[in-house]
Structure formats: C-alpha cells, structure tokens
C-alpha cells in the first residue's frame, strides 16, 4: 500500500511548518475491483460498506523499516446467494465511512473473491502500509 497525495501533503505540512495533522480515531477500509488510483474509484459496495477499524497501536503497531502492518482480521460480511460481486483487486483506507479522504491504497497479491461468499476475510498482517 502507498499513501495518497492527500495524506502525503498532510504529513509534509505537519512536519514542515504547516498545520498539525490530527489522525482519525477510526479508519475505514474498502475493497476495489480495479486500481483505485489516487481518488478511490472502483469501490465495491459490499453489504456492510467500508469496514471500520479503530486507529490505535494494537491494530497498527509501531512502524519499522519504512512500513506499518495492520494486525486485525477484517470480515466484510456475507454475499451468499449473490454471484455478481466482482473480484477485489485492491484495498484502500479512508478517514470516513462514506466520502471522506483517501489515505492509502494497495493491490492484493492474489485477488479476493467477493461473490457468493459466507465471509469475505482479509487476514491480519495482510495489509502493509509503506512509504513509497
């Protein structure tokens, strides 16, 4: 995963003379059917929408070597009986449950099936945020 232009600019301003950046207390994770670019397009609107994640040091332990892992299993719920959901190829992190600002996005190594699934799961430590 890599940071969006929005988040890069906020961090640069925070470190170099601009206004302080206040981290969101809750982050929201979305799945995408194709490269979301820097705007978060191609979002798959699963039954529960974006998955909320408390932004704390348990879910996001200290960064090391220029990367940070999310140590929380995400369950996006069930799509049983619906065969029309696309494969999820990307995952993004936002600062709001709808709309909001895109913070980070990245591609899955292997696309995640979302059609006719009892549980759509992203395993703990599968999400790694990097500085690139």
pTM (two decimals): 0.91
Q: Which domain covers residue 125, as residue numbers? A: 2-130
The phi and psi torsions of 12 (rounded to 5 degrees) equal -60, -45
Q: Angle at CA 78, nearest 5°, toward 73 and 83? A: 125
Indicate the number of domains in the chain: 1
Q: How many other C-beta atoms are found inside a 10 Å radius of the C-beta of residue 114?
A: 19
Tens digit of each residue's pLDDT (9 = 90 or more) over 13-64? 999 999 999 999 999 999 999 999 999 999 998 777 899 999 999 999 999 9
Tokens for 97, please give them.
Answer: 């449950």
- Cα separation, 107 vs 89, whole angstroms: 6
Tokens 């994640």 found at: 53
Tens digit of each residue's pLDDT (9 = 90 or more) over 70-103? 999 999 988 898 888 899 999 999 999 999 999 9
């Amino acid at each position: 995963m890599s940071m969006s232009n929005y988040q890069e600019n906020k961090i640069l301003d925070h470190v170099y003379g601009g206004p302080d950046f206040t981290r969101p207390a809750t982050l929201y994770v979305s799945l995408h059917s194709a490269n979301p670019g820097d705007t978060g397009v191609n979002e798959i609107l699963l039954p529960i929408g974006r998955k909320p994640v408390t932004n704390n040091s348990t879910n996001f332990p200290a960064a090391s070597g220029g990367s940070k892992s999310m140590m929380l299993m995400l369950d996006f719920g069930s799509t049983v009986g619906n065969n029309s959901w696309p494969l999820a190829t990307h995952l993004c992190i936002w600062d709001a449950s709808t709309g909001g600002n895109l913070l980070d996005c990245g591609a899955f190594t292997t696309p995640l099936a979302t059609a006719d699934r009892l549980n759509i799961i992203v395993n703990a430590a599968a999400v790694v945020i990097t500085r690139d």
